[in-house]
Amino acid sequence: MNNLDNGGEAFASKSGDHIPHQPVLYQEVLNALAPQSGKTYLDGTLGAGGHAEGILKASAPEGKLLGLDLDPKALAIARQRLFSYNDRMVFRQASYLAAKEVLQGLGWHHLDGILLDLGVSSMQIDQAERGFSFMKDGPVDMRFDQEAGTNAADLVNELTEEDLAEIIWLFGEERFARRIARRIVAARPINSTLILAQVIKDAVPRHASRIHPATRTFQALRIATNKELDALGLALPRLMSCLGEGGKIAVITFHSLEDRMVKHYFKRESQDCICPPEQPICTCDHVASLRVLTKKPIRATKSEIKSNPRASSAKLRVAEKITEV
């Protein structure tokens, strides 16, 4: 299984310019949400607006969409791309964690569809100054919101060897986590992505993996820097409370831990009883609020992976709200 977070939207052109192309699992997302005119939708990870454009087209002429993103540069690109939909589109620089508060401020009472496309985009990876890439030199930053506090360099240069190893193992599933953490600590201070990548490469045995030796560690540092798993765990119940009956939530993940969180949350909320199996009488009073629409996650087709290799690790799970809670 490929558990690496390789990002969602692909950006490329024959001229070399960074032009947004079709995002991962584009048609699958539209099929899942089935946008309709007069309905309201949330793209909690707007990026360059690829999925949002599809939702707006499918929900014409009166569907509305709220797009959230922590990255102001991504929002600027999305605004340009979606300019013709300004009468039906609202942009906000915010985390999907704040969706409920933003919706209340807009006076939107419920949503008919929610999309989360987790992870880092090709656009962010391609910007060396953002620090996401181990192939380009830049600061060890990795923040989605560059106005936020802690960056990846803080983790690299300040955490203990034990804490670093735990992050690299847990979020990167890197079997050489301890060796890498030891080398990083010995090489401090590290403020260049290329230097960090070389330190990691030197710590990993040659030919130990088909991928670049720094891939998993950079992924782990990014997830830890942005507290991505914490945000997802808190956001799922908050987002579900925003869905109206019959509304659907679609979540694209690129990491096994994220996928597991979504899978377990959907399963839990699709059951009337969540008491331990050995308990003879139900005392939880839990009522199912979801219907899981994907027994197994939807994966990218071979043709999509061929045109966008980053789609290979994408998994889409979908659920439908069945009761008002």
For 139-165, write each residue's pLDDT tens digit: 999 999 888 889 999 999 999 999 999
Cβ 33 vs Cβ 293: under 8 Å: no
In this predicted structure, the answer to whether residue 18 has a pLDDT above a threshold of 60 is: no
Average pLDDT, the chain: 90
Q: Give the strand pairing for 64-69 and 290-292.
A: unpaired
Beta carbons within 8 Å of 46's beta carbon, 6+ residues apart: 52, 67, 68, 69, 74, 75, 78, 91
Q: Where are the alpha helices (DSSP H) in 159-301?
A: 161-172, 177-187, 193-203, 215-226, 228-242, 256-269
Percent of the chain with pLDDT over 70: 93
pLDDT of residue 324: 55
**What global pTM score does this model have?**
0.88
Mean pLDDT of 298-305: 95
Q: Quick one: pLDDT band at residue 320, thresholds 50, 70, 90?
A: very high
Question: Half-sphere exposure of 38 toward its Cβ, with a 13 Å CA cutoff?
Answer: 0
Q: Which residue did the predictor score with more confidence, 276 or 173?
A: 173
Comparing 197 with 126, the larger pLDDT belongs to: 197
- What's residue 111's pLDDT? 98
- Given a cut of 70, whether residue 5 has pLDDT beyond it is no
Q: Which pLDDT score is estimated for 285? A: 84
Domains of the chain: 26-122+228-321 (3.40.50.150), 140-226 (1.10.150.170)
The pLDDT of residue 12 is 35
Better-predicted residue by pLDDT, 7 or 322: 322
pLDDT, tens digit (0-9, with 9 covering 90-100), for 186-216: 999 999 999 999 999 999 998 777 889 999 9
